[in-house]
Amino acid sequence: MNRRQFINRSVFAIAGTTLIGCADEKKELFSKNQVIGCFGDSVTASNDGYVKMLQDAVDQSQPNLNLKFLNYGRSSETITGLTEKVHPGPRPFLFDRLDAELKKTPLDIAFFCYGINCGIYGPPSEKLFNTYKKGVNTFLDRMQKEDISVVLLTPPPLALDVVSKVQTNAIDDFGYLNPYPEYEKEVLKEFENIILTTKHASVVHKIDLHTPLFNQRIECYDTDPIHPNKKGHELITSTIIEKIGF
């Protein structure tokens, strides 16, 4: 069996387990007819990515639950409100649209996955990390106000070493076209740490996607160091299911 077959089978094998919540808290996370809003950047926004795969998995393994996953991902978006000079126009800022999104459909659970864009591919700084923390806590406070439970997902890695050459177009400023060489190690790893150490009443689960994707980045990324390929989305899906269970 090749790895693709293994991941595909694992997604549905894991999905066939009993519906459970956080093992430490012994809480059941999902119940019938719940709506789950998935907030994130372009990794989340992918039409055929992990959000759709989660929906397909639960529909196959637990159709009686009638869970509905809504994709609220938006390409280029951040929770920091920052934009690099080389970006074509201001990056979308989650909090410019969050209230409007929450009015569309009542949510029971929110998945949160931001970070890859939030440092705008530049060097680390205390100011940047504090801005990221503020964005995370602003989201959590808003969810608490609406009585929405939150699953925090760590941001995916930047797989620069998978790509033979990143096109810089001779641009000097760091950005998505020419990231700071240590962005993965010095920025995204700290974002991962922030997510995994965040404590808030609305958080019911925290899941590390960064580590498995980084460890399997050769298989999970092709020519694009930012966006996982299909195999990467399958790994995201199976990791979520393994950690949460349904």
What the block records as the tokens of 116 is 């890859």
Residue 171: band (very low, low, confident or very high) from pLDDT cuts 50, 70, 90? low
More confident residue, 177 or 91: 91
The full set of domains in the chain, from first to last, is: 3-244 (3.40.50.1110)
Residue 186: band (very low, low, confident or very high) from pLDDT cuts 50, 70, 90? very high
- Can you tell me the distance from the alpha carbon of 180 to that of 8, in angstroms, rounded to the nearest whole number? 34
pLDDT value of residue 2: 46
| Strongest mean pLDDT among 14-18, 24-28, 36-40, 178-182 | 36-40
Give the tens place of pLDDT for each residue, 96-125.
999 999 999 999 999 999 999 999 999 999
pLDDT value of residue 223: 82
Mean pLDDT of the chain: 89
* pTM of the entire predicted model: 0.88
Q: Is the pLDDT of residue 6 over 80?
A: no
- The letter for the amino acid at 164 is S
Rounded mean pLDDT, 74-85: 97
